Amino acid sequence: MSITIFQARKIITMNPSRPLATHVAVRDGRILGTGALEELACWGAYRLETRLADKVLMPGLVEGHSHLMEGVFWRFIYCGWFDRRDPDGRVWPGAKSLQEVVERLQQAQSALADPARPLTGWGFDPIYFDNRRCVREDLDRVSATRPVGMIHASGHIINCNSAALAAVGWLRTGIDHPGVPLGADGMPTGELKGPEAMMLVSELLGLDRGTLAGDQAGLRMFSRLCVRAGVTTATDLASPLPDEALPILQAGTAADDFPTRIVPLLRLTGAPEKTVQRAAALRAQSSDRLRLGRVKIVADGSIQGFSARLRWPGYVNGAPNGLWYLAPQQLQQALALALQQGVQVHVHTNGDEATDAVLDGMDQALQAHPRPDHRFTLQHCQLADAAQFRRMKALGLCVNLFANHHYYWGDEHYRLTVGPERATRMNACATALASGVPFAIHSDAPITPLGPLFTAWCAVHRLTASGRVLGEHERIGVAEALRAITLGAAYTLKLDGEVGSIECGKRADFCVLDDDPLAVPSMQLRDLPVWGVVQDGRIFAASELPTG
């Protein structure tokens, strides 16, 4: 029952009745109170922790949309265009041409002893190479005999070499699948599009979702990224949660030195009844650092991949409308079932037609099964307009907007996908605020890097990679952005009574910063140094994390 009082330069509590403090008292991993040292002495004998005395504390950051596979990916070769920090804190420079990508893979291949072991890359984003398609001959230059492949940044496409195609029996003519484009010779080009076409090669490369969902080493790598980003609660937003993954997640998160609260959402596959029932049953297997019992549904694809479902007038370049990953009728049935059973659902929608399908589906489902405070949440919901936000408010929906998208793909949205007007309204944080829709912002790591302070910077400035301000009227203030990455995200997970602010009764989860996010120029928010975290009252310094 020992009490620790943490001393800090400043504590930003996000508690409106006591927004600032210099000390916080902690017992059993929970907060007794904040204030001045003399005030906190009322709780009895304590140990004063001065290690953070020159730091700024804020509530542990909550990543409301990420995937554990970001941790697994770091055992593969990073092939992305942007610089990216790995779990050990090392920055991998972006590969700025297809030639650089090939050279990086060549280097990795020459270091591999076992000639049969596949070589896997990730984060590839040819949209930055003038969309020059990568073909198998490019990757044959890495190896003619070893299977080599890389998954795109979007996660929706794989490129592989001839040896990989041969290993799955596809280095031949006569393949007839919309996700397997053919070259002039009638053989696959090595590009595989969509989950079905990718499946066999995914397994070969160690990229199948089952592997990515439940892996002890990957879990620990992911948690190290969280500490470096100041995150103490993170979602795994679309897990298949196979039975064999559960004990791994339970044991991994229960370890004394595990620094993150993980919230996996069970991805709906097949019959909605089974998924909803399984999610409800999983709730009982939860622990403090593993929160089970929620469902994720994916309604459509991605905007930059032209697979999102758009309303009229569709894509500006004339691309055909995208894909329903789940038909609107089934979507409505799944929502009704989940409402009835009291299982919370988060739905991925990118296009505004997909968002309409959820709004219509919820309208119907709520008439059959009214449930106050359901907090069903639209994830991404990038193209929603003001009228759709008003409907979200009326239906009690929350939204988690993909603020990072502007930086990474905003220029392409302006030019290629939805055109100038709709590009400026994408991820409309200011409209969400004005409409009173509870909202969060996210990275969708590994799609973009895990880092809520960077995400907040994106929502505040809405700058694209080329430096254009995209949607100045949808910018929000620093305080609102910081709320979105703490209490805002916690609210969408129904965890706002436990985390997201620093106040009596809540978990002792803090993000430890070298500087004050409310005082530095807002342009510096993206690079604000994170010292580490306190999670359940335990200190984790980024500089002291195990490596390798």
d(CA 426, CA 423): 5
Comparison of 404 and 431: residue with beta carbon closer to Zn ion: 404
| CB-nearer residue toward Zn ion: 67 or 374 | 67
Residue 127 CB, shortest distance to Zn ion, in Å, is 18
CA distance 337 to 323: 23
What minimum distance in Å lies between the beta carbon of 382 and Zn ion?
12
Between 33 and 155, whose beta carbon lies closer to Zn ion?
155
3-state SS of 88-128 is CCCEECCCCCHHHHHHHHHHHHHCCCCCCCCEEEEEECHHH
Whole-number minimum distance, CB 237 to Zn ion, in Å? Answer: 5
Nearer to Zn ion, 289 or 346 (CB): 346
- Shortest spacing between CB 545 and Zn ion, in angstroms: 25
Parallel, antiparallel or unpaired: strands 530-535 and 538-541:
antiparallel
In whole angstroms, the minimum distance from the beta carbon of 84 to Zn ion comes to 17
DSSP state of 60: P
Which residue number, 404 or 417, has a Cβ lying nearer to Zn ion?
A: 404
Chain residues that interact with Zn ion, rule: CB under 5 A: 237, 444
Q: Compute the least distance from the CB of residue 444 to Zn ion, in Å.
A: 4
- Asked whether the bond before 521 is cis by omega within 30 degrees of 0, the reply is no
Measured CA to CA, the distance from residue 42 to residue 530 in angstroms comes to 32
Residue nearest to Zn ion (CB): 444
Residue 154 or residue 535: which is nearer to Zn ion going by CB?
Answer: 154
Radius of gyration of the chain (CA): 23
Taking the least distance from each CB to Zn ion, the nearer of 262 and 336 is 262
Smallest CA-to-CA distance from 453 within 73, 19, 58 is with 58
Q: Is 70 exposed, middle or buried (0-12, 13-18, 19+ CB in 10 A)?
A: buried
Phi, psi values for residue 64, rounded to 5°: -80, -10
CB of 426 to Zn ion, least distance (A): 16
CA distances 495 to 231, 350, 523, Å, are 15, 25, 30
